[in-house]
Amino acid sequence: MVSKVEDVLIGLDPEQRAVAESVRGPVCVLAGAGTGKTRAITHRIAHAVRSGVVDAQSVLAVTFTTRAAGELRQRLRALGAPGVQARTFHAAALRQLTYFWPRVIGGEAPSVIESKLPVLGEASRRLRKNHERSELRDIAAEVEWAKVTQIGPEDYVEAAAKHHRTPPVQPEEVARLYEAYEQLRRERHLVDFETILELTAAVMTEHQEVAGQIRQQYRYFVVDEYQDVNPLQKLLLDTWLGGRDDICVVGDPNQTIYSFTGASPRYLTSFAVEHPQAAVIKLVRDYRSTPQVVDLANLVIAKGRSPHRLELVAQRPDGPRPVFTDYDDEPAEAAGVARAIRKLLDKGVPSREIAILFRVNSQSESYEEALSKAEIPYMLRGAERFFDRPEVRHAVVLLRGAARSAAGEPLASEVHHILAGIGLTPTPPGGGKAREKWESLKALADLAEDMAAEGADLLAYVAELERRAAEQHAPPVEGITLASLHAAKGLEWDAVFLVGLTDGMLPIIYAETPEQIEEERRLLYVGVTRAREHLSLSWALARAPGGRKSRRPSRFLDGLTGRTSAPPRLSPANRERRPVAAPVSCRVCAKTLVAAAEQKLGRCTTCPADYDEALLESLKSWRTATAKEAKIPPYVIFTDVTLQAIAERAPATEQELLSIPGIGRVKADRYGQAVLSLCQGNDA
């Protein structure tokens, strides 16, 4: 623990020290990836507390994850500031709302909804709808977006159009479900995470004695990951501040990757406009990555359109250059990545220090198969939090029970004995769910062995598990990490493999506006900056072996690999010179078609259609299954009108498929083989 006030500043670089010494707000810290932002803000808080500028109990440090809040508290304890409150927005607001509810509203405080899906499902049934679970997940995301941007059900349709939202069902249907969900929630005295923030701000606004007490308690604010703040969180933060400006915000505009949820980087980039007296400090010394990785990260972001980018300066010694590789097909790419990982393992790189990162979770399957064939252990990250997994919950219950009647056996052997009874075997199973369960139990056993080496007993071990569960601090799992780029944010590894980097996947096919494309570029930047030393970027030219090699590497790789990945883009002037498309006539009555849906079908909607109904149902079932696997809305694959057009024309070749309006090269490459197989009467 730090002994003297000035010792808090030892070991900080000049910019980090400037942050730590700026003990009065407003302060804006623009912190690039790997620049030690957590170190800077914890030392700032500790310096302010230990020098008497503020009482520890008057500080509220706000972040976005329970684990990040736990890490802040742990570091602050080590720096001699143990009384500081570090919480997520929701945890801080719920604590305040629960405390004041009996006094200002009366009765029992509402229960918290952990997931919107059950209530949305009931709302769907009330409206006599039958939405699939994947649709409900996407509708829940739309409801969350609307609530954090303060849009009610009555305004959703107009707002969705204005913000180019692409809901899984018609906007009017989302609005009705949203209204029914809110009605059910109120009837049952429930609050979701968005309502917690909204009610806390409302209680403070309507009851000045509550606002006064909270503001008397918290006088000093620090907000981490400020680029991810949404309008509702900003409303609550402003309510907490109550016109004061003793606030320090920290963020990186280059890592804004959650705009689709309602997060807005403008609060970070315009902080100095909102607070003209603010000190703005940039952290750009990158201590995480080698110069080769940093140079590539700078180049990726420099080719974007953002005026707020930070250019990193590497502080580590040289390392290997990033590797760019194209493969004939996806299985070849997965096998090649597995071979490269085996070489790293043979050189002594720990498996837990290697990650494979992709754009969507459905891409993981081929890598799971390739790693299993190579007998390389792996773990999936992001699908479910470690301490929420059924096998982990079961294990903790058993371990807690054993701790109450501990017989004094050695910790490691006792834990191994308990876990063996629920599936921990000496060697891992092949793959899939059984492998995931085994990896979870093995992580618990490894933690027991580590603590046993330090002399801990079962009681201490269970206490540590409960602490970690509260802070969502999972024990390290020995194995290659498989994760989406979104799930990888905030993490780092010695070696990172960025895979599937094709146009249509990164940027994702449904990113259409310039803002959406730029966010996809920042996703690649986040992926690059996860690597400390080894970095590999790869793509496959075809989906399956023997398939047409028509895919292009991501446009974001233009100029990075020595090759151009996409055809030249036409300037606005050149676009104006394009020939006008010939009129499309109805194939039944020969009338000129004007509506886009009619042009796609090739007939008037009132003209009779001749198609195989079984084929249309097969196409819809295939689309539903594919969308569920890829965790995307079904309409992103093909709209209902496109499926109808396919069923009517029953294309037999790729050229015939491409002739259908709305089906371009990217979708033909991705889905063409499956669609043609269905049209020919085969299972896709």
Nearest to 518 by CA among 484, 553, 555, 486: 555
Beta bridge partners of 502: 553
pTM: 0.72
For residue 414, pLDDT over 90 is answered with no
Mark which of 446, 470, 494 sits at the end of a domain: 470
* Judgement on whether residues 459 and 484 belong to the same structural domain of the protein: no
Range of the domain at 119: 113-188
- Going by the annotation, the residues of the binding site are 31-38
In a domain, 584, yes or no: no
- Judge contact between 670 and 543, C-beta under 8 A: yes
In a domain, 303, yes or no: no
* Judgement on whether residues 462 and 534 belong to the same structural domain of the protein: no
Q: What is the mean pLDDT of residues 49-78?
A: 90
Check residue 5 and give its pLDDT: 66
- Judge contact between 109 and 97, C-beta under 8 A: yes
For residue 91, pLDDT over 80 is answered with yes
For residue 579, pLDDT over 50 is answered with no
Poorest-pLDDT segment among 14-18, 69-73, 146-150, 438-442? 438-442
For residue 662, pLDDT over 70 is answered with no
Supply the DSSP string of 248-317, one letter for each residue.
EEEE-GGG---GGGT--THHHHTHHHHSTT-EEEEE-EESSS-HHHHHHHHHHHHTS--TT----EE-SP
In a domain, 204, yes or no: yes
Please state the length of the chain: 684
The amino acid present at 295, given as its one-letter code, is D
The pLDDT tens digits of the residues spanning 513-556 come to 888 899 999 999 999 999 999 999 999 998 888 878 888 999 99
Q: What is the mean pLDDT of residues 593-607?
A: 56
* Judgement on whether residues 484 and 466 belong to the same structural domain of the protein: no
* Judgement on whether residues 70 and 37 belong to the same structural domain of the protein: yes
* Judgement on whether residues 461 and 511 belong to the same structural domain of the protein: no
* Judgement on whether residues 332 and 253 belong to the same structural domain of the protein: no
Mark which of 431, 451, 470 sits at the end of a domain: 470
In a domain, 203, yes or no: yes
Three-state helix/strand/coil letters over 81-134? CCCCEEEEHHHHHHHHHHHHHHHHCCCCCCEECCCCHHHHHHHHHHCCCCCCHH
Mark which of 258, 281, 304 sits at the end of a domain: 281
- Judge contact between 364 and 399, C-beta under 8 A: no
* Judgement on whether residues 403 and 542 belong to the same structural domain of the protein: no
In a domain, 269, yes or no: yes
Better-scored residue on pLDDT, 349 or 378: 349
The amino acid present at 234, given as its one-letter code, is K
* Judgement on whether residues 118 and 81 belong to the same structural domain of the protein: no
How many folded domains does the chain comprise? Answer: 5
The pLDDT tens digits of the residues spanning 346-362 come to 999 999 899 999 998 87
Q: Write the CATH number for 650.
A: 1.10.150.80
Poorest-pLDDT segment among 207-216, 242-251, 306-315, 607-616? 607-616
* Judgement on whether residues 25 and 149 belong to the same structural domain of the protein: no
- Going by the annotation, the residues of the binding site for ATP are 31-38
Sequence-ordered list of residues with C-beta below 8 angstroms from that of 93, at least 6 positions apart, any chain: 196, 197, 200, 236
Q: Write the CATH number for 489.
A: 3.40.50.300
* Judgement on whether residues 248 and 219 belong to the same structural domain of the protein: yes
In a domain, 586, yes or no: no
> Over the chain, what is the mean pLDDT?
85
Check residue 267 and give its pLDDT: 92
* Judgement on whether residues 496 and 531 belong to the same structural domain of the protein: yes
For residue 565, pLDDT over 60 is answered with no
Check residue 115 and give its pLDDT: 87
For residue 578, pLDDT over 50 is answered with no
In a domain, 293, yes or no: no
d(CA 363, CA 668): 18
Q: What is the mean pLDDT of residues 59-67?
A: 89
* Judgement on whether residues 408 and 462 belong to the same structural domain of the protein: yes
- Judge contact between 37 and 16, C-beta under 8 A: no
In a domain, 455, yes or no: yes
